[in-house]
Structure 1
Amino acid sequence: MTRTQAFRAATALATVALAASALSACGAGGAGSGGKKVIGVAVADQKSLFYVAEVAGIKAEAKKRGYKIKLVSANNDSNLQIKQVNDLITQQVGSLIFTSQDSTAAAAGVKAANAADIPVIAVDQRPENGQGKLATYIATDSVKAADQLCTWMFSQIGGSGDIAILHGVLGSTAEIQRTQGCKDALAKNKNIKVVAQETANWDETEAYKATQNILTAHPEIKAVFAESDAMGLGAAKAAKAANKQIVSVGIDGFPTMFDGISQGLTQATMAQQPYKMGKIAVDNAISLMTGKGSVPKLQYQNTVLINKDTVGNYKATQFYGPNANSFK
């Protein structure tokens, strides 16, 4: 983050905090407000298939339960998301389902909702400790998933050799945890060497370009651990274009990754459950708004290893909802 970006983020955070304090004094928000039947939903974007599936699950469960949602998408703009969350608070939503863009937006959004007495259900991303109070956190155990996936990947290259890592958005919860998970696997596999690391921000095109550069500088690499499926596909396509045989893996379980594995383009993914997470988030939101039922503080969802041996046993719709194939 540049100094200018940091200044703007800090200014935006301070603005939201002041606004939230004013709202709290007026009694806005909370389970007892006029917005009791309305759930606010703030997500980082509606481009990532994970977030599209999450929102699909939210909409389906809210409709089933007779609740309305107010949905905003930040288009990966942290300052915009801070403003959007503040706007939801002024509309007196009864709860907030929050998938933050980054730590700045997460901290500001949670603090503002706390000040307005609106319970926060965080999905996928969460603020660091001390940055506000969450009612619950629903996510993939990305440390465990990355450890398992990298361990599998290392076995596919014979337990030794050079690899590259493609990181997601630096500082995001998923990026931190998936990096740690692969580090844990590396600690148990001393003959694996990381010779290149690039940031591709969860994006296929960025991953394609990054992998091109990596393959030019390190033509000997045997595998690429991409921290998302989009980046895994980008890496695989770059390798194919360069006539290189590498093992390329990702984490998500996108329908496109199922196809890539079936076609032999990519080798594996850890499938997450965003549609289910969206449904759980709505169920939790209603419990918090009505005071009926308990909500666990932490709710990790399991992942499933999808590779050439297992891809025929699963369908993307099991993880991304009934409309998963329309996301391709």
Structure 2
Amino acid sequence: MKNKVLYILLSAAVLTLITGCTSGDKPSETKVVVGWLQKNQTNVFETYINKGGETVLNEKKKTGEITDFILLDGNTDPSTQINQANDLINSSVSAAILQPAEADGSAPALKALTDAGIPVVVVNARTNNTDELASAYVGSNDIVAGEMMGKFVLDKLGESGGYAHLMGMVGNSAAVERTTGIHNIMDTASGWTLLDEQSAEWQGDKASKFAQDWINLHGDNLDAIICDNDDMAIAAKLACIEAGRDDIVVIGVDGIQSALQMVKSGELDGTVFQDGNGQGKKAAELAIELTKGNQIQKEYWIDFVLVTQDNVDQYISE
């Protein structure tokens, strides 16, 4: 009787083992998700960054290197980005990309993500805690961009004149650093006078209004308008042309296609090309490396290029 019971127990154990081995159950796969807090999804230059990164993320999703990705529009609002950072934390993303709206205002978003153990790549502009908390920063040296614009104006117009400066969003690191670069050059040119300096918040309509006011106020004393981005530069130059002052030299930053076309036609004097697509691609590539636990460099710099009629054809897309 004992042998019979033992036989039954052994048979049941073997059956259990066989069933366990052949049931087809697989261990659940770990999801690898990359979250991206985009600055906004409407500004022309920002869309270059977004498109570059999204191209990489789509490719890596197809190859199975990541499970999915989440794109969130920050509407250039740091409070929105802080809330969205918490959304990414709740979604248990494996790594994140932050394109800050402001240096100070978006800093809590970075802190929240890193406090939750999520590695972050910051792209295009810095928060004031990027160096301390981010796994990597991808961008271009905005001080150099400002210096390029200042040198361009001096080379084109000579040793004396009056200029105005249209700044980007107050508190944004790119706007702050481009302003620093402009002053590095223009403040050392003793014959040049800064007539006014105002923030048009990257927006063409506000830039146009400032340009009109400056032309009316300063007349022939206004020789140049230096702009922190191309949207403002295009609007300022069109305002100059409309006022019969196409002699006013205007230059911006980004190298968006509409600005490049105006440089080619001679309407806009120049732009400083910023490879937004390249920045977005690199940020996405680094975020994916972080999901694998790989070590990456702390900073990745992509050079600015001065674009004039002499080299504009190299940068115009077909």
Q: TM-score, normalised by structure 1?
A: 0.83
How many residues are treated as equivalent by the alignment?
A: 283
Distance (Å, rounded) in 1 between the aligned partners of 2:146 and 2:296: 27
Distance (Å, rounded) in 2 between the aligned partners of 1:185 and 1:299: 25
Kindly report which structure 2 residues correspond to 1:117-266, keeping only aligned pairs within 5 A, or say none. Answer: 117-129=117-129, 133-219=133-219, 220-244=221-245, 245-266=247-268
8 Å contact 1:46–1:73 — kept in the other structure? yes
Identity score, percent: 26
8 Å contact 2:122–2:130 — kept in the other structure? no
1:35–1:55 distance in 2 versus 1, CA, 3 Å: farther
What is the CA distance between 1:130 and its match in structure 2?
Answer: 7.9
Q: Which structure has the bigger radius of gyration?
A: 2
What is the CA distance between 1:229 and its match in structure 2?
Answer: 0.4
Distance (Å, rounded) in 1 between the aligned partners of 2:222 and 2:278: 37
Matching residue within 36, 45, 51 for 2:46: 51
1:210–1:91 distance in 2 versus 1, CA, 3 Å: same
8 Å contact 1:141–1:300 — kept in the other structure? yes
Distance (Å, rounded) in 1 between the aligned partners of 2:316 and 2:171: 28
1:298–1:37 distance in 2 versus 1, CA, 3 Å: same
Structure 1 segments unaligned to the other structure (5+ residues): 1-33, 318-324
Distance (Å, rounded) in 1 between the aligned partners of 2:148 and 2:130: 30
- What root-mean-square deviation, in Å, do the aligned CA atoms of Structure 1 and Structure 2 show? 1.6
1:180–1:35 distance in 2 versus 1, CA, 3 Å: farther
What is the CA distance between 1:80 and its match in structure 2?
Answer: 1.6
What SS does the corresponding residue of 1:103 show, helix, strand or coil?
A: coil
What is the CA distance between 1:129 and its match in structure 2?
Answer: 4.1
8 Å contact 1:107–1:132 — kept in the other structure? no
Moved over 6 A (4+): none
What is the CA distance between 1:78 and its match in structure 2?
Answer: 2.1
What is the letter of the counterpart of residue 48 of structure 1? Answer: N
Structure 2 segments unaligned to the other structure (5+ residues): 1-28
2:300 alignment partner in structure 1: 299
8 Å contact 1:106–1:126 — kept in the other structure? no
8 Å contact 1:35–1:93 — kept in the other structure? no
What is the letter of the counterpart of residue 43 of structure 2? Answer: S
What SS does the corresponding residue of 2:268 show, helix, strand or coil?
A: coil
What is the letter of the counterpart of residue 299 of structure 1? Answer: Y
What SS does the corresponding residue of 2:267 show, helix, strand or coil?
A: coil
CA deviation digits over 1:263-290, x for unaligned, max 9? 2211111100111111111111111110
